[in-house]
Structure 1
């Protein structure tokens, strides 16, 4: 099965943001959705609260008109962001009185958030999680189910 364009583009953007230290859960232009939407923060007008699944008036209009942003509907974007924030350890909605991780840009925290987002993005497109490596360790009668050519550097 071919990878949908929106998924491929989202994965590339998230990968680059993670490795270039440009991923920040507390910034609307540098969070998961901010990066998927080319580091724009205009998506924040789709809801009244960062991390909320409730569409604002503007969000409902776009959703009802069937608009998509880099392939994703407004409600899909809100779900992506909620999953990212929760997997990074935030209590939602994101606000000054809710607890948050001490160092929200810690690579391990961001990696946990990205793993959850990637799983959700794959699910949205009806694909198996591209980060699920458990299949490569499957075996039958002491032999691996899948064979790989080992390349030694």
Structure 2
């Protein structure tokens, strides 16, 4: 399976953030999109609320002019963040009334969010979900359908 360069970079950044303990869904610098955008918060000015998939004026202008941040359009970034937050267990958009997970930075919560975000990023590039492990366990007449590549 060949990944696009933007997807490979995004997954690498998310992987590092997850294992370094720097992934935080409630911080715009350290959430999924914050990490994809090199821990900057420039993407947060594209909408009026964290977790919203509605572009504001700044977002619309950037979208219409074809602006890309880390290879993604403003709308793609907002949708990636929404997938991540929903996967973590948040109701969107985030505000003081939002449903939140009990432990937003637990590895289990973050892993669930990353699975949702990466599934969305793969779909954007028309690539089979790299997080889908189910295909590894499919078999035909006592032999696996899929061969794992040696590491």
Q: Which residue of 2 aligns with 1:63?
A: 63
Compute the TM-score of the two structures, normalised by the length of structure 1: 0.93
Q: CA deviation at 1:127?
A: 0.4
The 1:113/1:42 distance shift into structure 2, 3 A limit, reads: same
TM value normalised by structure 2: 0.95
How many residues are paired up? 151
RMSD: 1.5
**Cross-structure match for 2:127:** 127
1:98 aligns to what? 98
How far has the Cα of 1:42 moved from its partner? Answer: 1.1
The runs of 5 or more residues in structure 2 that have no matched partner are none
> Which residue of the partner structure matches residue 17 of structure 1?
17
Structure 1, gaps ≥5 residues long = none
Q: How far apart are 1:68 and its partner, in Å?
A: 0.4
Answer with 1 or 2: which has the greater Rg.
1
Q: Give me the whole-angstrom Cα distance separating, in 1, the residues matched to 2:114 and 2:25.
A: 11
Deviation at 1:150, TM superposition (A): 7.9
**1:98, distance to aligned residue in structure 2 (A):** 1.7
Task: For residues 49-105 of structure 1, give each alpha carbon's deviation from its aligned partner in whole angstroms, at most 9, with x where no partner exists.
Answer: 000111011000000001100100000000000011111011111011222112100
In structure 2, what is the Cα distance between the partners aligned to 1:150 and 1:60?
A: 45
Aligned to 1:47: 47
Residue 50 of structure 1 aligns to a residue in which SS?
Answer: coil
User: What is residue 141 of structure 2 aligned with on the other side?
Assistant: 141
